A and B are shown apart, each in its own frame.
Chain A
């Protein structure tokens, strides 16, 4: 262990409310307040806050860049970048448009059927890719279909955003909170499928049933308009069949890699990076600039900045202080901890971006575990049987909480923005009117699930 890492480990054991403590705390609180206020772009806030943590000597640069517990989590960063590169290469092939048009045709031009099929397709794609990409690619087709059928596009768009957040909850790569939790808690892809997959399926069934009942008599179109959908030829959407085949093959390899990464002891980022490299190679591109430039760098830098800001408050002991407070509140009752964490996470994620929220909660949960089981370490600590339901509660709360408001999840922001550009404004309250009941219902289902699976039938 290097001297620096050793020092970091020691400083995590104790905390003193000295000048450094308060400086770091103020940077942290100010950064989060400005992010919530949206006065300055969140990425700018994260980069400025992170640099201040280093400039003001709260963290050494080495800690921010190279110490896993205090700085950038490169596992998360490379997983995100690699998946974005794969999507950037896939996008121009027309695959997503093909899926969407095909879905509308399977729906036979019937608005309610199309809405249900789109919700299902969005949920599945969101589980396998990321939510933002999924809605970014499906929303334009949705607007086109709604125009063709002369129906209101807004309910379709909101239902898709909600479905993407529910679907994304099911897998490690489906939603940013899961990516972050997986990396910190050393959980693998199949852990998520095994623990969150079943309940997400239940939630989707309930969600689709509700959509069906709510919109049963509201979506009407005329026979001749359905013809417009039926005469569309989805094959026309495929712009580059050769690259499409290569992309699907690589995506298949990557998904297979995710399924088995735990068995072969590879990190998910390794699997995704291999896929990105392979697809870049197969695409025969001589100018990768375009595919690399289209990586969502603001999101990547937002993550990196947050990791460093949170690292700063971990080092000075603010997180430890908070975890002691939580423990004092729950008296070490893990069932209560799970339930409080799940509901708190849901409402917090509806109000704040769930990425900074989870970045803060991850070290807090780990610290709490260290207090509870001081003799455990490594996987014994992270995967302590009593801690596992806490991780799942955090993941369920943070992912599903995204549905509570239009700013709760990136997918919602995309959908609202796209609708506005199309001249169909979705007001804050309109989104909340759809999203909040679904959020409360799905978190309630999660609560029953966690209670039954991890506490009642143990």
Chain B
């Protein structure tokens, strides 16, 4: 199997000029699978459809935490309500300012082992899948690879309840 066989086809994406608030909204309403519970990360594409970066919930948290806290050990001196205050302050921040740029991606024809290796080696949750024209065509989530492994282990077996 190759990356394109297990990937989730690209349904929604963010633009670099989207605000943080609208990005959160897109992530909230875009479900994956049957549950439609929202996604925890989304690719950022420019006007030509080229991959610019990824926004995950970690990036959203990172945007809300002030830069001076990140470089110090001052976390103990914050106050009740600070997170909420800062969240309101960054609502209009542009996606391009807080996304993770230089995303690691895979081509459609990448073997699953390469995908698994990249996810673990770089501590990632998801990998954008690129076509030969370098356009994003889908996403592979760490869960998809886990399910691929589960499938192998229980091939031809009835899954028995405990």
Contacts and interface: CB of A to CB of B under 8 A. Distances in A.
B68 A236 contact: no
Interface in A220-257: 228, 231-233, 236-237, 239
Interface string B84-104: 011000000000000000000
Contact of A148 (B71, B72, B73, B79): B79
B119 to A, nearest CB: 30
Contacts of B154: none
A237 B79 contact: no
A231 B79 CA distance: 9
A448 interface: no
A2 to B, nearest CB: 49
Interface in B72-87: 72-74, 76-79, 82, 85-86
Nearest to B93: A423
A236 B82 CA distance: 19
A203 to B, nearest CB: 29
Given A148-B79, A228-B79, A94 B73 contact: yes
Contacts of A97: 72-74
Contacts of B68: 139-141, 143-144, 418, 422
B148 interface: no
B10 interface: no
B60 to A, nearest CB: 16
Nearest to A147: B66
A447 B50 CA distance: 61
Contacts of A422: 66-68
**A-side binding surface: helix, strand, loop or mixed?**
helix
Contacts of A143: 66-68
B69 interface: yes
A144 B67 contact: no
Contacts of A239: 73
Interface residues on B, range: 10 to 19
Interface string A194-225: 00000000000000000000000000000000
- Of B73, B74, B78, chain A has the most CB atoms within 10 Å of the CB of B74
A50 to B, nearest CB: 32
B155 to A, nearest CB: 49
Contact of A101 (B77, B79, B82, B85): B77
Given A147-B66, A421-B67, A422-B66, A140 B77 contact: no
B52 to A, nearest CB: 21
Given A139-B68, A422-B66, A144 B77 contact: yes
Contact of B77 (A139, A232, A421, A423): A232
A141 B71 CA distance: 11
A416 to B, nearest CB: 14
A237 B67 contact: no
A422 B86 CA distance: 12
A370 B66 CA distance: 56
A333 B33 CA distance: 86
A233 B82 CA distance: 17
Contacts of B85: 147
Nearest to A153: B68
B76 A140 contact: no
Contacts of A139: 68
Contacts of B76: 233, 236-237
B89 to A, nearest CB: 8
A128 to B, nearest CB: 21
Interface in A123-147: 139-141, 143-144, 147
Nearest to B86: A147
A140 B79 contact: no
Contacts of A144: 66, 68-69, 74, 77-78
A173 B86 CA distance: 39
Interface string A395-432: 00000000000000000000000100111000000000
Nearest 6 CB-CB pairings of A with B: A140-B68, A143-B68, A421-B67, A236-B76, A228-B79, A140-B72
25 contacts: A97-B72, A97-B73, A139-B68, A140-B69, A140-B71, A140-B72, A140-B74, A141-B68, A141-B74, A143-B67, A144-B69, A144-B77, A147-B66, A147-B82, A148-B79, A233-B76, A236-B76, A236-B77, A237-B74, A237-B76, A239-B73, A418-B67, A422-B67, A422-B68, A423-B67
